[in-house]
Structure 1
Amino acid sequence: MAAAEEEEDDYLAMSFDEPGSKQGKETSIQRTARVKREAAERGRVPSKRELADREKTARDLALATQLDASNKGAKMMAKMGFKGGALGKSEDARTQPIEVMLKDDRGGIGMDSEKKRKIREAAAEMDGQQKRRKVGEVEYRERTRNEREERRAEGQMWSAMRTLEGFETGAVASENGDDDAAEKANGERKDDTDKVTNTERKPLHSINILWRPLVKQRLEKERDRRMRYDLDQSLSSRTDYEDPDADQDDKLALGTQIEELDEDDPELEALEAMSFAERLGKIIEELREKYHYCFWCKYRYPDAAMKDCPGVTEDEHG
């Protein structure tokens, strides 16, 4: 009983050392915790990482150990004439042991190379997609810009074509210096698009090629209008009757004969094969040379010198 009392710790008389000071007598609680900790360390199974670190440390230590005369490998090499240094007679002979490459996965030989190849291909594909995306964006912007410019040039072409028609059909006075005359004629003709004049009764091939598409467009609209009208009237009246005494103009006026447009027009086909900007340039050149009229200034000059005109293009008038 007395021995048990002696082994009991006096907690009231226990002192705690300051950090960094020399450790005092180990108490029973500390001893019990240490024994448990050491037992746990001895029974704990090391992790794969710890095992790999231990193997690497042992391997590096073995590779760093110099061979001595007591080593069997050194004795065999000494018998074959090795005296130290590099293996081989060439200048770039190996002086360090071959690096050990341990395989710690279940993949077959060459699997790492295959993975690297796939990673490189995936990276190259991703890079190619980014480049194609950038190229696609640039092409889209360029195509959109070209389409916008083409639509603008198309509108300007039809306007210039109507202006040229006004000069050639007499809608604009031959000696008129008013800068609004061409625009007025242009607007009047634009509002009266569906009407076919006597000038447009002529064969298409006899009309100036630069405003011939305008006439052809009106004739096609007139033909479509007459066809729709005949279709509407076919249920209530006979349209197959033809007056033998009526001439061709009367038949066209009465709608009993549809005007046939020139199907083969190589000159018109060649013009329509050009871009709107090219056709616009030809019409503007015709207006300047023949009528001394600047499409961008909206003014007809008195002579061919066209003094005070900034230039031929729209940018020069900017």
Structure 2
Amino acid sequence: MAESEEEDDYMNMVFEDAPKGPKHETSLQRAARKRKEGEARARQKTKAEREEEAEASREASLATALPETNKGFKMMAKFGFKQGDALGKSEDGRKEPIRVSVKEDRGGIGLESEKKRKFREQFEAAERLAKRAKEEEGDYLEVLRQEQKEKKAERDLNSAQRTAERLFDKEAEEKGTPESSEKPLKDINVFWRIRARRREEKKRDKQQRRELNNSIASRLPTLAHEDDDDDDKVAQGRDLAPFYTTLENDREDEDSELAEFEALPITERLQKVLLFLREEYRYCLYCGHEYPDADMEGCPGVTDEDHD
């Protein structure tokens, strides 16, 4: 028997979706929904959530264009304003609304400007103090560098004067002429005369102390000699001659040439002595060498900076 009807294809059968449930909520569902809504209304929102909602509402309002039914829009439309146009007769005004700056504190309207003014004044005062401190630090460092430079120049000058005196005495010994120690103070070269003067002062101070001690010891009471006619045999030392003749004859002669040289700046005195060593003895203090000829080939210069 021929089958006149096609067999059902159960593999390709399409079933209707399962029922989604009743169209109307049950009393239990309604009670659960109301309970959840009540709990949501009763819950206190946090400050961050309230600020977020306010910000979202504000942004939504700013993003919404002014409707044509608005009274203000109708007034501007009478003057030719269209949605999206710029404000102003020349149409060069702003198209976006002015951003809203929310004041979140309870201070007065001018308080923020006053705070900014005070902060700006404090910042400017701090800048001035920092600048002054930096200048004072720079001045202090400059003074310190200058002091170190002068101390270095004093050491170099002392070395140069000692070297010049040594070379002079060496040359005098070879020629048989008087050395610095054998000459009067004013006949010594002014470049190292101060060294001889200091030696003389040191020698004189030592002599004065010795004579003073001898004078004090000579005036102490002592027993008289047995052959003395004094009955008490005690002599007070009044007839003894004093030994402090150096103190009485201490008269320093003025030396204007030395005073004029010592009044020069330390660097200028050092420069003069260094040039004297090079011209007279072909000697460089910083090389520490006495050259065979006047050209002094190999010496980089006169000053210490030239030898760096």
**Same fold per superposition (TM over 0.5):** yes
Matches within 5 A, 1:62-77: 62-77=61-76
1:286 Cα deviation after fit: 0.9
Contact 1:164 1:211 in 2 (8 A): yes
Aligned twin of 2:195: 214
- Cα 1:228–1:107 shift into 2, 3 Å: farther
Q: Helix, strand or coil for the counterpart of 1:173?
A: helix
> Deviation of residue 158 (structure 1)?
1.1
**Aligned counterparts of 1:87 and 1:108: Cα–Cα separation in 2:** 32
Give the Å deviation of 1:106. Answer: 1.7
In the aligned structure 1, how far is the partner of 2:32 from the partner of 2:201? 107
Instruction: State how far apart, in whole Å, the 2-side matches of 1:306 and 1:70 are.
Output: 104
The answer as to whether partners of 2:165 and 2:192 remain within 8 angstroms in 1 is yes
Name the CA distance, whole Å, in 1 between partners of 2:57 and 2:211: 105
What CA deviation, in whole Å up to 9, does each residue of 1:55-81 have, x standing for no partner?
2222222223223332222233345x2
Aligned CA RMSD, in angstroms, stands at 4.7
Q: Structure 1 residue 304: deviation in Å?
A: 3.5
Separation in 1 of the partners of 2:264 and 2:81?
89
* Contact 1:242–1:256 (8 Å) recurs in 2: no
How far off its partner does 1:172 sit? 0.6
Cα pair distance change 1:88/1:209, threshold 3 Å:
same
Q: Give the conservation status (yes or no) of the 8 Å contact 2:193–2:258.
A: no
Listed one character per residue, the Cα deviations across residues 181-206 of structure 1 (whole Å, up to 9, x for unaligned) are: xxxx9xxx9xxxxxxx453x534xx5
Using the size of structure 2 for normalisation, the TM-score is: 0.61
Cα 1:234/1:91, change in 2 over 3 Å: farther
- Alignment partner of 1:286 is 2:285: no
Assess if the C-alpha contact under 8 Å between 2:185 and 2:197 holds in 1.
no
Supply the AA of the counterpart residue of 2:103: K
C-alpha distance in 1 between matches for 2:31 and 2:261: 107
Identity of aligned residues (%): 41
**Counterpart check, 1:44 vs 2:9:** no
Distance of aligned partners of 1:301 and 1:47 in 2 relative to their CA distance in 1, 3 Å threshold: closer
What are the within-5 Å matches in structure 2 for residues 1-318 of structure 1?
Answer: 38-79=37-78, 81-84=79-82, 85-119=85-119, 146-168=146-168, 171-174=169-172, 197-199=181-183, 201-203=184-186, 206-229=187-210, 232-233=213-214, 235-237=216-218, 251-252=245-246, 256-262=248-254, 265=256, 268-275=259-266, 277-301=267-291, 304-306=294-296, 311-314=301-304
The number of residue pairs the alignment matches comes to: 260
Q: Cα distance 1:172–1:45, how it changes in 2: closer, same or farther (>3 A)?
A: same
| Alpha-carbon distance, 1:314 to partner | 4.9
Shift of 1:105: 0.5
Structure 2 unaligned segments of length 5 or more: list them: 1-19, 21-28, 220-238
Higher relative contact order (CA 8 A, sep 6+): 1
Amino acid at match of 1:202: L
Deviations 1:137-176 (A, max 9, x none): 77666655554454343223212212222344xx313586
Max Rg structure? 2
Report if the CA contact (8 A) 1:226-1:258 is conserved: no
The CA distance in 1 between the partners of 2:137 and 2:74, in whole Å, is 72
Gaps of 5+ in 1: 1-21, 23-29, 177-184, 190-196, 244-249
> Structure 1 235/39 Cα, relative in aligned 2: closer, same or farther at 3 Å?
farther
